[in-house]
Amino acid sequence: MRIPLVAANWKMNGNKAFAERFFSDFDLQAIAAHVVVCPPFPYIPLVSQVAEDRERFSVGAQNLSQESSGAYTGEISAEMLLDWNARYVIIGHSERRSLYGETSELVAKKFVVAQQAGLIPILCVGETLQEREQERTLEVIANQLKAVSDIIESDTWKHSVVAYEPVWAIGTGKTATPEEAQDVHQFIRGELGNVGEQIQILYGGSVKSANASALFAQADIDGALVGGASLDAKEFAAICRAAE
């Protein structure tokens, strides 16, 4: 039985006042799904305080360094995230891949570093519009997963979350249809081998309260990774409730 999980990716949005306001508007008690909020790094301690002693609410980071320490200006290590009580970390978001040149090999290295430190990686995979139009979706996703599979024991997938985020659906208002998303989720589960059934696979890309229920009704969609709609506490709460 996979527990529904809804993760907020605030990206580089908000400030301290926003984060404080968000948690005064977001009624955690009323939500039964497992929820992760991934704020920008400086607000992780603030979200950690909210998460303290709450079983179903965790804090996550949006990135981490593949190195453990040293002369890497501007980088944040897994150990530092653990110091802040982060439990999850988003790895290989398409914005990191396309804007900051993160290759699948680097993403795989970060995945391993996160896991070895005891963080749960949320590995993002997804195709661009051009790749979808060329009917290369499954091939692209298989390659993104393979970069990780190549350097871990297959059992190790168990301690991770995968997020399918079609690049063309991110921030565009265009969501994959529930059936399109389900097809890819089912494919991903198959690619994860004998632990596939145990892994939470989230959908991301223009998820909002209006489309969440139809997505969550699909057999292989275990929750969502939410960008824009996670910046509105009430809207995000409605998405979380749809996952229960």
Ligand X SMILES: O=C(CO)COP(=O)(O)O
> Which of the residues are catalytic?
93, 165
- CB 122 to ligand X: min, Å: 9
Euclidean distance between CA atoms 84 and 203, whole angstroms: 27
Binding status of residue 205 toward ligand X by CB under 6 A: yes
Binding status of residue 118 toward ligand X by CB under 6 A: no
Binding status of residue 63 toward ligand X by CB under 6 A: no
- Say whether 66 sits in a helix, a strand or coil: coil
Binding status of residue 242 toward ligand X by CB under 6 A: no
- CB 242 to ligand X: min, Å: 14
Confirm or deny that 126 is annotated as ligand binding.
no
Q: How buried is residue 74: exposed, middle or buried, by Cβ count under 10 Å (0-12/13-18/19+)? A: exposed
Euclidean distance between CA atoms 114 and 122, whole angstroms: 10
Binding status of residue 204 toward ligand X by CB under 6 A: yes
- CB 17 to ligand X: min, Å: 21
User: How many other C-beta atoms lie within 10 A of the C-beta of residue 231?
Assistant: 17
Binding status of residue 202 toward ligand X by CB under 6 A: no
- Residue 64's nearest CA partner among 104, 115, 16, 10 is 115
* Residue ranges binding ligand X (CB under 6 A): 9, 93, 165, 170-171, 204-207, 225-229
